[in-house]
Amino acid sequence: MANDGYNSSLCLPCVFSPKSRQYLASFAQDGRLRIWNTDSKILHQEYVPSAHLSATCTCIVWGPCRISKEGPRRKKRKSEAGHVEELADLLALGTVAGSIIIYSAVKGALHCTLDGGHNGGVNCVEWHPEDGLLYSGSDDSYIVEWDLQTSKTRGKWKADRASVTSLCVSPDGKLLLSAGQTIKMWDLKTKEVYRKFTGHSTAVTNLRFATTRPPDSNGLYFLSGAAHDRLISVWQVQEDGNDKNSVVSFTLTDDPKHIDLFTSNSKEEAVRLAVVCKDGQLHLFEHFLNGPCKKPLSPSCTVQVSGLEDNPVPVPLLAAALTADTRSLLLAYGSYLQPIMERLDVNTAERHVCLTRDVHTTLTLAMETTVSKVKTPVVNGKSKALVPGLPGHQAPVKAGLGSEKRKKGTGTKEMSIEERLGEIDLSLEKGGVKKTPSLQTDNFAVLLVQGLESKDVNILNDVFQTRKDNLINKTVSRLPIPAVLPLLEEITKRMQGHPYTAVLMVRWLKAVLMQHTSYLSSLPDLVSQLGVLYHMIESRVKIFYKLTKLHGKLYMLMTQVVAGDSGVKDVDHKAKLVYEDASSDEDKASGDEGLPDEDSDNWEEDEDREEETEDGIQS
């Protein structure tokens, strides 16, 4: 029942401590680890990693509860002598730099740092239930086994061709599940593959064992959830090895972000499952795992939180935890910087439960100053400042004016913020002309994501005004996958406006369809989500054929009108020059001289002469 953080660029990790659920660990946008007390609802501890801007946290995992050997001790009473309390102590934080930070909640300080195991960012971390071992998966496709006593690697092996995005150790500590897109089950003694499963079409983000039975009894089940997949799949480890496909599926409204469950110890005990989706809703399931089920199962109850405004706005749920009482839940909702924690009883007989809360009045910042310690890193003059944003994104920071140290005792008046901003603007001007720095492609992608999240019209207008096809294609290709659908919705909205804006939006639409076709085709409800764009394109294509015919007719008519109005005059048919050849008549006259006239008299004399000659011959 250990909770794993969900690794995503837009979903930050937020997990409850195991067993007692006394603490909530969250990692906010400012790069700080905060631990909240769920009973008193106040901030218990805060920790700032030394490289919290360059090495962004990707996952948080609570270690198994253990007997605390460190920290302040008090003298126990006789009634407490036989009672030993196990506390949630260690936290493992994976980073994009490939290191793992181990933080002690009991000491309120850094326990150790695990380096040198991975060449890529750490995507997932999983604790061994007993042996004090830790397993991590990374983008370098390797699994590393860490020994916390020595803070060094104990083993390392290649798990997949692609990145390892999720891990899970069995309750008995003998098997390890790893997943990228395919799911593999490893024997931790031999480090060999025990079983392979089909997996998902996208990267698997959650793995959980649902039962505690041995694998050779056909009763071992585990479940998995993937990015951009609105299903939780349940897999059965069968003795004959015919277990490549899932046996049960649970339907969700969005990608699974946080999963908590109560495992089943026998066939007569149902598995209880709580899934927090990316859209901020909580889905509760209860099912007896006993073989395959053909139809996907719908949630028995859905919980959602909204505000008390005139137009209620949904409040996103960050994490949820089940308790021994089937009706009781522990929820965390609101902001990652200051989440609101609440224990409540939910009537699971209702299919949908909507909780209305006044979030603004509930937010009160309180902190245990006697217990918590804020760890601020020591920064020297040679350190490089990084701007928080997308993981790995770096931008130069210009030093402002007036960075010199002010001397003590001088009567100089401190400058106001308005005056400082004015001097910063003047420092950018050279020669009376203000230089406008050209935005790079990665800046365009960051601006576009920020504009889509905040719905800032000015930012979106600045990005959409570009006409360079190469810049548009590179910007769209660098967008994170969760930002594709909001971008398409914004393009659809703008294409319905002025025709000049529609011409610009067609280039962005073409780039999105060319760069993210595979992702869009995998969405089952693509037509319903993009119905407005689909019908708009279909109606305009129908009108285009009629407009083309009308354009042809108008063009032919206009050419005839222009030809009639050109003023062509009548042609003069009188020849301006006549040439006569006189030599031909003279030759004809000279050739006819001396020839007898061919009249009828000459023909008769010739006939008489021929008859006389014939008579003389006969005689």
Q: How far apart are CA 129 and CA 134, in angstroms?
A: 9
The pLDDT of residue 7: 41
The pLDDT of residue 214: 77
* Number of Cα atoms under 13 Å in the Cβ half of residue 39: 5
The pLDDT of residue 425: 55
The pLDDT of residue 581: 73
Query: 0.75 cut: is pTM over it?
Result: no
| Bridge-based pairing state of the strands 42-47 and 33-37 | antiparallel
Residue with tokens 């506390």: 87
Structure tokens at 5: 């953080």
The helix or strand, by DSSP H or E, that contains position 190, with its residue range, turns out to be none
- Model pLDDT for residues 80-139, shown as the tens digit of each residue: 444 455 677 789 999 888 899 999 988 888 888 999 889 988 999 999 987 789 999 999
The pLDDT of residue 410: 47
Residue pair 292/245 in contact (Cβ under 8 Å)? The answer is no
The pLDDT of residue 396: 42
Residue with tokens 């006239």: 597
The pLDDT of residue 259: 92
Rounded to 5°, angle at Cα 24 from 235 and 367: 175
The pLDDT of residue 449: 87
Adjacent-strand bridge partners of 286: 272
The pLDDT of residue 397: 39
For 387-396, the CB contacts below 8 A with 24+ separation are: 387/53, 388/29, 388/30, 388/31, 388/53, 388/56, 389/446, 390/9, 390/445, 390/446, 390/449, 390/480, 391/9, 391/56, 391/58, 391/96, 391/121, 392/56, 392/96, 393/442, 393/446, 394/54, 395/443
Which segments of the chain have a pLDDT < 50? 1-10, 70-73, 78-83, 364-365, 369-372, 387-410, 427-441
The pLDDT of residue 363: 52
